[in-house]
Amino acid sequence: METDVTRPGSRGGVARRLAAIGAAAAAAFALALVWTARPAAAAGPDAQCLTCHSMPGLEMPLPDGEKLPLTIAADSFAHSIHSPLGCTGCHSDISLPAHPAAMPVIKSGREFSLKMVQVCQTCHVQQSKEWQTSVHAALVREGNGVAPVCTNCHSPHAVQKGVAEAIDTVPCKACHAAVFTAYSGSVHGILRRGGMAQAPLCFSCHGAHAVHVPSEIQGLKDVCLGCHKNAVAEHSTWLPNVDLHFGVVSCPACHVPGAHRRVDLVLFNSTTQKTTPEAEGPESEGVPEFVSPGSSSMTPRPGLDPQTLFTLLQTLNRPGVADKTVIQGRLEVSTAVEAHQIAPAESAISDCATCHRAGANAFQSVVVSVAGPGGIPVRYGADKDVLSSAFSIASIGGFYAIGGTRITILDALVVLALLGGFGFAIVHGSMRIFFRKFFNHTRHEQRKG
């Protein structure tokens, strides 16, 4: 049966036929442009995937209102180390003949990222094991919605060797922008950008996948000494009591001259040799409850006075508790940004009076720390009187040196405590000698009688 398109002499049929032929040619030409735009590496099924997934703006609406981006830059994927695996190397749950089929409900982009971590673990077994021990993984387990997983640091469709190790493309700065800016202006950042490959970048101090908090107790000192192996010997040529200084003064406290310094009293488990976890700290049973963490880990929470600190230690060390908690004090800078503003060695503080004088600024600010998720310090503000109270003698004895702070009352209390200790020993020894002689004399008299 003839139609308007095939019927001879039909002007309308001819026009429609010409229009159809033109439309088909235009579609074929557009498809050819898309196909030829694919890089040579994209062939077979990958090329079919990229026919759609290279279109700009391709995305999937999610139930939470977010949109999951589905566009893949074909050139970037072609040069990626994942390119030889092909699309189905990671997306093995996708059947090309049936795609797009009814997809399982993805509630959010975060849920999808967490699901894809399991795919990364299939090949990257060692890196996954390291990440599981990291502060990032600890935060993920705590339900932190922005703690990084694999795809936050490594763009899965554009991964290239060495990108994460370059100062301009290191992924850490995406979250830690302020810290990275401070680092960039430090002696470390300047040397690294100047081409010195040995100068530390983020992962040099914090680790790449097994990212830990180096500020815990001696961790920061150990990180610094990893490169500056002769630092103790070099400091001993001019710094008195060098071992004590290295034990209780963090490196940035002197090597960031413009920083605000403070005393950090760290609750420390003498058995595990680790910082006391937050669950056992100032919010434990029998101790006043404090404001829950809600801001930066460097921001102190309010409110420890000398008696509260004393009560806290008594509670943590109550009868029946095997692991005893002590306080390890140290001098540190106040913020993570300051900790990364390391100055050249010639600018470091070397004037003893900066700290060793009456009213030194460093001893006007005091915090008490416990360990949060992944070892991140959780700090509680403390009254500076905790350094000059009779309640604090047992608390700060591990780092205090008589005369070191020029806090006169504290010097007197420590001297009295020492004298009391010596006095007890002298009295106890004298009593033993007296009673030994008394009993010997009594026995001698009894034998004579």
Pull the structure tokens for residue 419.
């004298």
Given this model, what pLDDT does residue 363 score?
Answer: 85
What pLDDT is attached to residue 24?
Answer: 44
| Token couple for 150 | 């694999």
Look at residue 344 in the predicted model and tell me its pLDDT: 95
Is residue 112 within 8 Å of 149, Cβ to Cβ?
no
**Which helix H or strand E contains 380, and what residues bound it?**
strand 377-382
Which residue in this structure is represented by tokens 């996708």?
94
pLDDT of residue 78: 92
Asked if the bond preceding 100 is cis, omega within 30° of 0, the reply is yes
Angle between helices 11-37 and 45-53 (to 10 degrees): 110
Distances (CA, A) of 231 to 9, 283, 356: 99, 39, 22
pTM of the model: 0.74
CA dist., res. 134 & res. 142, Å (int): 13
CA distance 374 to 137: 8
CB 236 within 8 A of CB 263: no
Q: Where are the domains of the chain?
A: 46-161, 212-406, 408-449
The pLDDT of residue 218 is 54
Residue owning tokens 């554009």: 158
How far apart, in whole angstroms, are the C-alpha atoms of residue 395 and residue 399?
9
| Residue 329 main-chain phi, psi, to 5 deg | -95, 155
Cα 258 to Cα 83, 182, 190, 255, 347, distances in angstroms: 49, 13, 18, 9, 10
- Do residues 364 and 384 touch, judged by C-beta distance below 8 A? yes
**The pair of three-digit structure tokens given for residue 167, joined into one six-digit string:** 């100062």
Tokens of 153: 């640091």
> Which residues of the chain are under the pLDDT cut of 70?
1-43, 102-104, 215-219, 279-303, 390-449
pLDDT at 327: 83
pLDDT tens readout for residues 386-413: 877 766 665 555 455 544 554 555 556 5
Q: What is the pLDDT, as a whole number, of residue 434?
A: 52
What pLDDT score does 266 carry?
A: 86
